[in-house]
Amino acid sequence: MREQKGSIIQRSGRWYVTYWEQRNVNGTAERRRVTHYLGEKTTRGKHPSGDIEDECKSFMSIVNASNKAVQPEHVVTIVQFVDTIYMPWVEANKRPSTAHGYRQIWKANLAPHFGGMLLRDYRPSHATRFLTSLAEKGLGLNAVNHTRALMSGIFRHAASLGYIDSNPIQLAKLLVAPAQPKDTPHYTVEEMAAALAVLEDKPQAKAAMALAFIGLRPSEIRGLRQEDVDLDARMLHIRRSVWHDSVSDGGKSKNSARDLALGSEITGILRDYIQAHPSRSGFVLENSASRSLSLDALARDVIRPTFAAAGLVWKSYYGGRRGAETEMNRYTNGNSQVTSHYFGHSKAVADDYYIKPIPEETKIAALALDSALQETIGRLNRGTIN
């Protein structure tokens, strides 16, 4: 397209510039007349002020430069790019749970924000104002960071495909500090023992909580198969995760596949459950349709009502994982490097195809947790816990 000066017009007390551009509409480059807001009308005259004319020249220089540098088929709105290019790529290359999280953030915050803005027109200043507004509305630090990360991923993907030259999110900043995340709850050893006691006549729920109390993620509990449980060697092999109906071999990440040492208390709970409930599907915890059990449904229908009746507080399955790590770190003087293998955090303990042996210090900490749980259950049964 030839170089344009644009035409300044007035609408409802505001100045706009109108110009022509080629846009990608359903795969076809079409020439369209568009407008861009320049500023408020602050004078009584019919002609724009010098500031408005300067803003018009500055903006049109960007438009002309973009028209020379960007192919017409790359002139798309951010929403078009995400719906037709980025999200399909995410769903093909990311874990289903990750894609689901992206879609939630996109629908809740980003799609309304981007509106009809072109991909090439988005600037760091836009992101700065938007992210700052989220913090001002009370959105917490983690939520703001997740939103920013998705924005950055979208523009990074666009830049890698040649739609834009750079990622504007990299230069954006928050002008207001978001609210710090609240402390996440965890179960103490006493609460773990009490929970297992009240679930005594609900073996499936008891087995699920026992696995949570030794640090498994909910998706790992769902993915546990009978061949992964070596009761004689007192070992648990974490090799997959299940999210909704999707099975991911290897687990959440390459570090998630790991071997866990079991103490006598948890081994006994698993042995009793597996012997009394032979699996039809191979999953340790399965539903009536011989599929991996929904832990959300188990918590809603069984665990939470049982806890409420006994006066116990439900702190989620992740509360068990956090409690396990908290308690194990007591036996390592807070050395999380020792216990990180047990929870699948560390890059040092696993790679793509090989699972390293459990460090001896980690095994000692895991058995110490089981021993503390066993001793606490004994005191609970004797009525010596207040």
Per-residue pLDDT tens digits for 179-199: 887 778 899 999 999 999 999
Q: Which domains does the chain have, with CATH numbers?
A: 7-73 (no CATH), 78-171 (1.10.150.130), 189-381 (1.10.443.10)
Q: Which helix (H) or strand (E) holds 243?
A: strand 240-243
Model pTM score:
0.68
Question: What gap in Å lies between CA 137 and CA 120, rounded to an integer?
Answer: 28
Q: Using one digit for the tens of pLDDT, what is the confidence trace for 281-316?
A: 999 999 999 999 999 999 999 999 999 999 999 999
Residue 293's nearest CA partner among 302, 231, 253, 260 is: 302
Q: Using one digit for the tens of pLDDT, what is the confidence trace for 247-280?
A: 888 766 666 888 999 999 999 999 999 999 999 9
Q: Which helix (H) or strand (E) holds 68?
A: helix 50-69
pLDDT of residue 26: 64
pLDDT of residue 350: 27
Question: What gap in Å lies between CA 30 and CA 1, rounded to an integer?
Answer: 12
Q: Which residue has the tokens 């609408």?
A: 11
Do 320 and 342 form a contact (C-beta atoms < 8 A)?
no
pLDDT of residue 345: 58
Residue 220's nearest CA partner among 204, 235, 239 is: 239
pLDDT of residue 34: 85
Q: Using one digit for the tens of pLDDT, what is the confidence trace for 121-153?
A: 899 999 999 999 999 999 999 999 999 999 999
Question: What gap in Å lies between CA 97 and CA 219, rounded to an integer?
Answer: 10
At a CB cut-off of 8 Å and minimum separation 6, what does 48 contact? Answer: 8, 10, 15, 38, 56
Q: Using one digit for the tens of pLDDT, what is the confidence trace for 156-183?
A: 999 999 888 899 999 999 999 998 877 7
> Side by side, which strands form the sheet with 14-25?
7-11, 14-25, 28-40
